Amino acid sequence: MKGRIRRLRRRVSRTLAALLAAAVLVPIAACSAGDDPAASGKKDDGAPRAGTLRVLASSELADMKPLLEQARKATGITVRPTWTGTLDAVQQLGSGKADGAYDAVWLSSNDYLRLHPEAAKRVTSETPLMASPVALGVKPAVVRRLGWDPSRVTWSQVHRAVADGELTYGMTDPARSNSGFAALVSVASALSGAQSALTDTDVRKASGKMEEFFGGQRLTSGSSGWLATAYARRGTVDALINYESVLLSLGRDSRTGLTVIRPRDGVVTADYPLSLLSAASPEAKDSVRALTSYLRSPAVQRQLTRETFRRPVVTSVRPAAPLAAEARRELPFPGSRSVADGLVDSYENKLRRPSRTVYVLDTSGSMKGERLRRLKAALTGLTGDFREREEVTLLPFGSSVKRARTHTVDPADPQAGLAAIKADTAALTASGETAIFSSLESAYDRLGPDTGSAFTSIVLMTDGENTTGDSADDFAGFYRSLPAARRVTPVFPVVFGDSDRAELDAIASLTGGRLFDATKEQGPGSLDGAFEEIRGYQ
């Protein structure tokens, strides 16, 4: 257990930037060319600038762009975000890496932050700006089939329907997305009957029910945006667990509208506090206060709830029409960091369905030298992140598929599987041309017909464009001829070296995956960063 928790902490301490799926990958606020270095052609060095707030922000807040642009016009304050996940933001604060780099932090919730004294002491004030509870969005036909009254459904009823095989759902990864973490806490609290802060005893008490509950999860994601996109594309699950605001936003499209259920035995609510950091300059502190005051004004709160479906925090403002008025009990949050980390570790390694991934790796002649070294380093570093029960296939290719090997991380001896993956990684050599599409077809063939017992995905890494074997049209025909159960396996291409971005983006669009960028030498946007980010989708 200690080893798994150490691996978890290493995992959540790495960058979780770029959680957004392509559907929501937009700037949080627009700047004039004079204020925005990128707009003026200058490199953004992250330095403080008059009238600009440097904010470490939850990626789901991208839908605030219109309101923050209005705020810029009204107050003269521009928000310059760095997208991240809640757990990563807390690590950056606690380690001191955020000191001097940011003026404020704006997360879905500060509950996890408060469990980390080194991070909490760097926050001098926090002001909630809106609220959204975790909820369950269910297809209307499924609600009717189950005979549910949406206003009276409990988490226990949901658990029973899942355990009986009558309900499947999607949820984001709790180790990377706060909506997933809040959902995990909600389920653990409700099914354990916890009356106060969650303890290890509560988690153990509910472990059997939680294993049944998460057995019904059929869709996972590193971000709320991609989860919604994948749900709309696939239509293979009955429900989504996410923030109420995200679920109601789906209802704007009649094809994906869901009945939003707020379980009556309790929820965990995000309150989106804008939190001032102690290292902020006096000018930045004034800007935070001014921005907070503007966003909490009654007129803006009315617009906020109408356009984002989040709940206003100003009592004089009524929630938007789709937001139910009845109150729900706020479920208790874990009382210590060890309980929170242990809960996530249990989910990753025991409760959720295992992962099954084929890494289709370009080892053509152009990968010789530094590029192959970087690939080996990224894969070796990733081995510490593989979950128990996970099946990993390395499928290197050049002019054709080279020797493909599959390994499973056996809970009885996880180090054996990890050592074998490292050994196969070390043995990779570069030679041949680049047969991208033929190799992808081979990856789908290796997955076989049984893709329902695990979260299956294909990761494609190439530094060039297709030069031999099947063409893009050949692959498109192959993919469309697959049975529906196999077409749900997405391909996550990684842009690296001289790879053809358009070609890879087309693969992601065809298969329902997402394109990841690895064009930088290190950090976010590097090859190891891309591989790590993809983990939230496996």
Asked if residue 108 and residue 67 are part of one domain, the reply reads yes
Mean pLDDT confidence for 347-354: 94
**Beta carbons within 10 angstroms of residue 410's beta carbon:** 13
- Do residues 347 and 174 touch, judged by C-beta distance below 8 A? yes
Nearest to 275, CA basis, from 266, 284, 283: 284
For residue 315, is it within any domain? no
Asked if residue 247 and residue 223 are part of one domain, the reply reads yes
Per DSSP, the residues of 268-322 read: -EE--EEEEETT--HHHHHHHHHHHHHHTSHHHHHHHHHHH-PBPSSTTSPPPTT
- In degrees and rounded to multiples of 5, residue 4 shows phi and psi of -65, -40
Whether residue 16 is predicted with pLDDT greater than 70 in this model: the reply is no
pLDDT (tens digit per residue) in 386-416: 999 999 999 999 999 999 999 999 999 999 9
Whether residue 2 is predicted with pLDDT greater than 60 in this model: the reply is no
Identify the pLDDT of residue 19.
Answer: 30
Instruction: Please give the DSSP secondary-structure letter assigned to residue 267.
Output: B
CATH number reported for the structural domain that contains residue 432 in this entry = 3.40.50.410
Task: Determine which helix (DSSP H) or strand (DSSP E) holds 190, and give its type and residue range.
Answer: helix 178-192
For residue 123, is it within any domain? yes
pLDDT (tens digit per residue) in 482-516: 998 899 999 999 999 889 999 999 999 999 999 99
For residue 319, is it within any domain? no
Number of independent structural domains in the chain: 3
Asked if residue 158 and residue 110 are part of one domain, the reply reads no
User: Whole-angstrom Cα distance, residue 507 to residue 470?
Assistant: 14
Whether residue 297 is predicted with pLDDT greater than 90 in this model: the reply is yes
pLDDT (tens digit per residue) in 83-112: 777 777 888 899 998 999 999 999 999 998
For residue 363, is it within any domain? yes
Identify the pLDDT of residue 130.
Answer: 98
For residue 174, is it within any domain? yes
User: Whole-angstrom Cα distance, residue 211 to residue 97?
Assistant: 37
Domain residue limits at 212: 133-269+328-347
Identify the pLDDT of residue 151.
Answer: 93
Asked if residue 234 and residue 149 are part of one domain, the reply reads yes
Asked if residue 401 and residue 503 are part of one domain, the reply reads yes
- Do residues 103 and 277 touch, judged by C-beta distance below 8 A? yes
Asked if residue 216 and residue 109 are part of one domain, the reply reads no
Whether residue 337 is predicted with pLDDT greater than 60 in this model: the reply is yes
> Tokens in use for 277?
């950091």
User: Whole-angstrom Cα distance, residue 163 to residue 280?
Assistant: 50
For 472-487, give one letter per residue: b (16+ CB within 10 A) or e: beebbebbeebeeebb
Whether residue 6 is predicted with pLDDT greater than 60 in this model: the reply is no
Identify the pLDDT of residue 451.
Answer: 63
User: Whole-angstrom Cα distance, residue 466 to residue 472?
Assistant: 8
Asked if residue 365 and residue 438 are part of one domain, the reply reads yes
Mean pLDDT confidence for 228-253: 87
User: Whole-angstrom Cα distance, residue 56 to residue 102?
Assistant: 7
pLDDT (tens digit per residue) in 431-450: 999 999 999 999 999 987 76
> Tokens in use for 148?
């549910």
Per DSSP, the residues of 462-474 read: ESS---SSS-HHH
For residue 322, is it within any domain? no
For residue 317, is it within any domain? no
Asked if residue 342 and residue 221 are part of one domain, the reply reads yes
Mean pLDDT confidence for 304-320: 96
The backbone region for 100, taken as left when phi is positive above 0, alpha when psi lies in -120 to 50, beta otherwise, is left
Whether residue 241 is predicted with pLDDT greater than 70 in this model: the reply is yes
User: Whole-angstrom Cα distance, residue 220 to residue 197?
Assistant: 27
For residue 314, is it within any domain? no
**Cα 218 vs. chain centroid, distance in angstroms?**
15
Asked if residue 363 and residue 264 are part of one domain, the reply reads no
Percent residues over pLDDT 70 in the chain: 89
Asked if residue 216 and residue 85 are part of one domain, the reply reads no
Q: Is residue 319 packed enough to be buried (19+ CB in 10 Å), middle (13-18) or exposed (0-12)?
A: middle
The pTM of this model reads: 0.84
- Written as one letter, the residue type at 457 is S
Q: Which of 39-53, 235-249, 289-303 has the highest mean pLDDT?
A: 289-303
Asked if residue 523 and residue 409 are part of one domain, the reply reads yes
Asked if residue 126 and residue 192 are part of one domain, the reply reads no
CATH number reported for the structural domain that contains residue 43 in this entry = 3.40.190.10
- Do residues 120 and 90 touch, judged by C-beta distance below 8 A? no
